[in-house]
Chain A
Amino acid sequence: MTERPLSPHLSVYRMSRYTLLTSILNRATGLALSAGLILLVYWLVAIAGGANVYRGARTVLSLGVLKVIYVILLATFSYHLLAGIRHLIWDSGHGIEREQAKRSSWLLAIASIVLFVGLAWWALHAGGRTP
């Protein structure tokens, strides 16, 4: 079993291809957001636990490491949302020509950066509040 080459055959791909990069990024950001879902549920459970439990959870949730994670989650959300919408547009049969897909991958890159910067700016100027 282990003798045979197993997928993913990472070495055979040209990582610079926009098709590969946009696809694997969508998967990676999806996994990151799955981890974010755990944080969300932890937060909800802490709220349900009452004021004392929540106070303890807030000290955990406002750790420096988690602040970095919130920034990463905002970035991954921005990308996964727009890449997902791009996939839905493809599913409707539009934009699947090579040139169109190339253009939309650039649009995706720019739009997700703009969305991320906008959200991060809003999060900061909303008073620097952390959970």
Chain B
Amino acid sequence: MTKSSGTILDDAKRRAGTAEAQEGPSNLRSPLAKVLGQGSAKEGVRHWWAQRLTSVALVPLTIWFVVSLLSLPSFDHATVVAWIGQLWTSVFLILLVLTAAWHSQLGVRVVVEDYVHGGGMKALALALVTFFHAVVAVAGVLAILKVAFGGAA
């Protein structure tokens, strides 16, 4: 950092420093922290934003799914295969599985972060949450595609 006096980051740090000087001693955030704007988690609003984005998408997707499921005339294999075989059914189902898995991963992750203690246990639990949701998403999408392409007859 000592040699990077000409970088954008350095310039921003200088400007933030000036702003802080004008605001006076009541502001306790360091100039660098203000410039990066990432808080203590070091990844900014990514998690928060992804959770909002997926929840907005899940409102119509889940309502569509529940209504469609309850409207099915029966749950025979032929009936559900024909249902999933329709183009827009498979499109929305894939979107539902992917978005739900992502949203679920974001939520369960926070629960683990809150309630599982101890560095090793927490890291292990978070890794399992990630792997588990990856399996759920891939298995779900592949199953839908197989049915959609006529492989489940």
Contacts and interface: CB of A to CB of B under 8 A. Distances in A.
A31 B139 CA distance: 20
A88 to B, nearest CB: 6
B136 interface: yes
Contacts of A40: 97, 100, 140
Contacts of B84: 44, 47
Interface of A: 1, 6-8, 27, 30-31, 33-34, 37-38, 40-41, 44-45, 47-51, 54-55, 58, 77, 81, 84-85, 87-88, 91, 119, 122-123, 126-127, 129-131
Interface of A is mostly: helix
Given A34-B108, A40-B97, A41-B136, A119 B143 contact: no
Interface of B: 52, 55-56, 58-59, 62-63, 66, 70-72, 74-75, 77-78, 80-81, 84, 93, 97, 100-101, 104, 107-108, 111, 114-115, 117-118, 136, 139-140, 142-144, 146-147, 151-153
Contact of B143 (A6, A41, A91): A41
Given A40-B97, A119-B70, A1 B117 contact: yes
Contacts, number: 96
B52 A88 contact: yes
Contacts of A129: 72, 74-75
Given A33-B104, A48-B143, A123-B70, A88 B111 contact: no
A72 to B, nearest CB: 14
A45 B144 CA distance: 8
